[in-house]
Structure 1
Amino acid sequence: MRTNLICSGGMDSVSLAHILAAQGVLKRLTSFDYGQRHHKELDYARACAERLGVAHHVIDMRAVGAVLTGSALTDDIAVPDGHYAEDTMKITVVPNRNAIMLSIAYGISAAHGDDTVATAVHGGDHFIYPDCRPRFTQAFEMMQRAALDGYADIALHTPFVHRSKADIVREGARVGTPFAQTWSCYKGGATHCGRCGTCVERREAFHLAGIADPTDYQDPEFWQQAIASKEGR
């Protein structure tokens, strides 16, 4: 198997990169600059590719991202604090982002003879992001098989789509993923803020997995308040 992994530089995709590398099937990482608020994740994706000794493609999608307006990840809109399972987090949706990125990754894989595209979407993404849900990934794979019919036979590998972020922490830890060398925070400060949805989810995942979190947070205790709010306590 030859796998092209979409890698943001976040904990989920870097963990999957190390898992695939341990299996001997990782051939390349593909990352995207879509005009996001900061590029810290891309630096971590680049470091991951160098660490694992695989090719790294960084695709300039800034012109596309500039017209995918209305998201706190691309526009001058405040990133909300709290848990992903709150309606306020819908402001972080970048419309059709995963569909666009996957299409490009499939094209790269077809051109380079890969037989698999991998993405680290997981069960915790389902509430907010429609293009992380199983219905989407299944339909997308079927569409790509039609798009490349007779030219390439490429599968879509989504090992976490029915699993939690805590599961990712456990699986990543088994293969020695350097979690400190990943970036999740949407705000892009000197350290993780500890308050945005992805920071809260990251902190909670380590707690549920029973694995020490090496991340330096500006507000390391906020996640508990966010969880309590989600659960209505």
Structure 2
Amino acid sequence: MKKAVCILSGGMDSTLSSYIAKNEGYEIIAVHFNYGQRTETRELKAFRDICEDLQIKEKYEIDIPFFTQIGASALTDKSIEVPIGGIEAGVPVTYVPFRNGIFLSIAAAIAEKENTEAIYIGVVEEDSSGYPDCTEEFISSITNSINTGTKETTKIQIKTPLVHLMKNEIVLKAIELNVPLHLTWSCYKEEEEACGVCDSCRLRLNGFKKANCEDKIPYKVL
């Protein structure tokens, strides 16, 4: 069976991306990163729950402690407040410097080791909120770099099945594929009940509302 590395944060987008990989006939090797994010414990639980639902046999849980040293993001530096006033123009303070570039580099090393032909990542341009590492242009560029910097026999395709979808389309596609969205976690701030007011919660809730569907995870504010 063909194999794919799936970068799986435990959020809605990466989860749907992983289910799409399974639906496309790939044996999944799941990769999760603990990088000092505020909701690290809750995201790890979501990752493990989703891996169990997908019956994934091989998974990597990788610690990347240096992101907290670098800081410069509200997700990894607790002295910076997570914004709750709605999405603003430009690169937001929740952007983690070159996070997806680092994730994809590690995923590429795993893909080369495991002889997989694809990496799935759930980047979404609409959801990027100005994140420069969530664009199709970035993915195309780093794909070239990865294939240049690996063995000649290594040919890795980075698949971004959600990149042009809106959040409501993601919700509807997830329902179509029986994705257990109640197991996923998107909140930037909280681990018990989602805050409902950070950018990620707002995007998620708006997606469910436009899709005319109920989000079954608990929220402090709806």
Distance 1:65 1:26 in 2: 30
Structure 1 unaligned residues grouped into runs of 5+? 221-233
Partner of 2:175: 173
- Describe how 1:22-171 pairs up with structure 2 within 5 A: 22-39=23-40, 40-54=42-56, 55-62=58-65, 64-76=66-78, 77-84=80-87, 86-87=88-89, 90-171=92-173
Answer whether contact 2:91 2:129 (CA < 8 A) is retained: no
Contact 1:13 1:120 in 2 (8 A): yes
CA–CA distance in 2 between the matches of 1:139 and 1:161?
15
Decide which structure has greater helix share: 1
**CA–CA distance in 1 between the matches of 2:140 and 2:73?**
25
Contact 2:90 2:130 in 1 (8 A): no
Judge conservation of contact 1:80–1:89 (CA < 8 Å) in 2. no
Q: Which amino acid aligns with 2:86?
A: H
Question: Cα distance, 1:16 vs. partner?
Answer: 1.7
Whole-angstrom CA distance in 1 between matches of 2:110 and 2:149? 14
Q: Distance in 2 between matches of 1:42 and 1:189?
A: 11
Moved >4 Å (runs of 4+):
none
Confirm or deny: 8 A CA contact 2:101 2:133 kept in the other structure: yes
Amino acid at match of 1:198: S
SS at match of 1:153: coil
Q: CA deviation at 1:170?
A: 1.2
Identity of aligned residues (%): 33
TM-score (norm 1): 0.88
Instruction: Tell me the CA shift for residue 89 of structure 1.
Output: 6.9
List alignment gaps of at least 5 residues for structure 2.
none
Structure-1 separation of matches of 2:166 and 2:218? 22
Amino acid at match of 2:133: D
Deviations 1:188-231 (A, max 9, x none): 241111000000000001112222222221110xxxxxxxxxxx
Per the TM alignment, residue 88 of structure 1 is displaced from its structure 2 partner at its CA by 8.3
Do the aligned partners of residues 88 and 154 (structure 1) sit closer, same or farther apart at CA in structure 2, a change above 3 Å counting? closer
Query: Residues 68 and 151 from structure 1, CA distance in 2 versus in 1: closer, same or farther, beyond 3 angstroms?
Result: farther
Q: How much has 1:97 moved relative to structure 2?
A: 0.6
**Pick aligned residue for 2:220 from 218, 221, 227:** 218
TM-score norm. by structure 2 comes to 0.93
Local SS of the residue matching 1:32: strand
Aligned partners of 2:21 and 2:120 also within 8 Å? no
**Partner Cα separation in structure 1 for residue 113 and residue 149 of structure 2:** 14
CA deviations on 1:20-62 (whole Å, 9 max, x unpaired) are 2233314211010111112211110111112212122011101
Find the aligned partners of 1:66 and 1:211 in 2 and give their Cα distance: 36
**Would the aligned equivalents of 1:193 and 1:219 in 2 still touch at CA under 8 Å?**
yes
Counterpart amino acid of residue 78 in structure 1: E
How many residues are treated as equivalent by the alignment?
A: 218
Q: Matched residues in 2 for 1:198 and 1:150: separation?
A: 39
CA distance in 2, matches of 1:109, 1:189: 31
User: In structure 1, what residue type is equivalent to 2:23?
Assistant: A
**What RMSD in Å do the two structures reach over aligned CA positions?**
1.6
* Alignment partner of 2:197 out of 190, 195, 198: 195
